């Protein structure tokens, strides 16, 4: 991993900072406008989840290279309450915040790889990668 | 930052530009409803040509302001949704049903005039 930058999510302004960083890195990597929008939206959703559910956490943006492909990896981590039932939060329309419930299943659709690891009481780590086609 | 709201005959015109943060979006919601009240506008066109992504929060604020405007008796048209925005919104799982949209500002104003029965 030759590049890593991090935005600490504490307030709503940090959500803006995180998605701006993500968009810039996506541009640098040569993603098209639609993929840039997908990445920016995914980061915004993940950063907002941290802000809403955990209070604070970190969003890392990495450039990744694998088998001749390059991509952008988002890692969203927090030490919040964790997710009780991961299967449930991955269902469309499920929400505990009264939001739109687009959250995680939406992010999964926007990105290519998606992985979630959560321990109740300890925190949550979400990895999402988009590859350049 | 505050989003300017312009009056054009019996309609209001809004062009949302640049990075829309949460506070600006919520302020806009209040400002628009206040302006509808002050001007007795019948219709509103919200142009989002310069918006290059919409997340679920901004979608919710936009959806809410539409419902609120409808409650007050004003019709709202959203114009200028970019291809990338349309694609990401649907993939994200948000379908702004029951929302009047048009390709650009011109078509939006035409649609509004039709809806308002000239």
Residue A93's pLDDT is 67
Collapsed DSSP state (helix, strand, coil) of residue B115: helix
The number of folded domains in chain B is 1
For residues A48, A50, A55, A60, the Cα torsion angle rounded to the nearest 10 degrees is -110
- Residue-wise pLDDT for B90-107, tens only, equals 999 888 778 999 999 999
Write down the pLDDT at residue B18: 85
B57-99 pLDDT, tens digit each: 999 999 999 999 999 999 999 999 999 999 999 999 888 778 9
Residue with tokens 């803006």: A16
Indicate the average pLDDT of chain B: 93
Token representation of residue B21: 């943060």
What's B49's DSSP letter? T
**Contact by Cβ (8 Å): A93, A79:** no
Residue B25's pLDDT is what? Answer: 94
* CATH numbers and ranges of domains, chain A: 4-131 (3.30.565.10)
Q: Is B49 on the interface with A (CB under 8 A)?
A: no
User: Per residue in B28-48, pLDDT tens?
Assistant: 999 999 999 999 999 999 999
**pLDDT confidence of residue A95:** 62
pLDDT at B94: 86
Sheet holding A57-66, edge to edge: A4-9, A57-66, A69-78, A123-131, A113-119
Chain A residue with minimum CA distance to B94 = A102
What pLDDT does B97 receive? 79
Nearest 5°: phi and psi at A38?
-60, -45
The Cα–Cα gap between B110 and A17 comes to: 38
Test A106 with B92 for CB contact under 8 angstroms.
yes
Q: How confident is the model at residue B19 (pLDDT cuts 50, 70, 90)?
A: confident
pLDDT values of chain A reduced to their tens digit, one per residue, 133 residues? 556 899 999 999 999 999 999 999 999 999 999 999 999 999 999 999 999 999 999 999 999 999 999 999 999 999 999 988 888 888 876 665 555 445 799 999 999 999 999 999 999 999 999 999 8
User: Domain holding B78: CATH number?
Assistant: 3.30.750.24
Which pLDDT does position A49 carry in this prediction? 92
Residue B33, domain extent: 5-115
- Residues in chain A within 8 Å Cβ distance of B59: 100, 102
Contact A102 B56 (CB under 8 A): yes
Residue with tokens 């321990």: A119
Residue count (chain B): 118
Half-sphere exposure of residue B94, counting CA atoms within 13 Å on the CB side?
30
**A-chain residues near B61 (CB < 8 A):** none
């Amino acid at each position: 991993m030759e590049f890593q930058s991090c935005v600490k999510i504490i307030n709503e302004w940090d959500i803006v900072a995180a998605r701006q960083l993500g968009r810039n890195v996506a541009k640098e990597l040569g993603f098209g406008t639609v993929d840039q929008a997908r990445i920016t939206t995914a980061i915004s959703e993940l950063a907002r989840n941290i802000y809403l559910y955990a209070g604070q956490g970190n969003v890392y943006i990495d450039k990744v290279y694998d088998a001749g492909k390059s991509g952008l990896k988002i890692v969203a981590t927090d030490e919040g309450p964790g997710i009780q039932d991961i299967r449930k939060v991955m269902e469309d329309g499920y929400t505990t915040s009264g939001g739109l419930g687009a959250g995680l299943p939406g992010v999964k659709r926007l990105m290519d790889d998606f992985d979630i690891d959560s321990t109740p009481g300890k925190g949550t780590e979400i990895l999402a990668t988009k590859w350049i086609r | 930052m505050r989003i300017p709201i312009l009056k054009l005959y019996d309609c209001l015109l809004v062009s949302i530009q640049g990075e829309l943060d949460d506070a600006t979006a919520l302020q806009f919601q209040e400002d628009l409803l206040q302006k509808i009240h002050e001007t007795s506008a019948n219709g509103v066109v919200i142009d989002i040509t310069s918006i290059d992504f919409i997340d679920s929060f901004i979608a919710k604020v936009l959806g809410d302001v539409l419902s609120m405007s409808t409650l007050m008796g004003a019709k709202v048209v959203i114009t200028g949704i970019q291809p990338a925005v349309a694609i990401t919104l649907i993939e994200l799982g948000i379908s702004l049903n029951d929302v009047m949209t048009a390709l650009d500002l011109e078509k939006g104003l035409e649609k509004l005039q039709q809806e308002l029965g000239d």
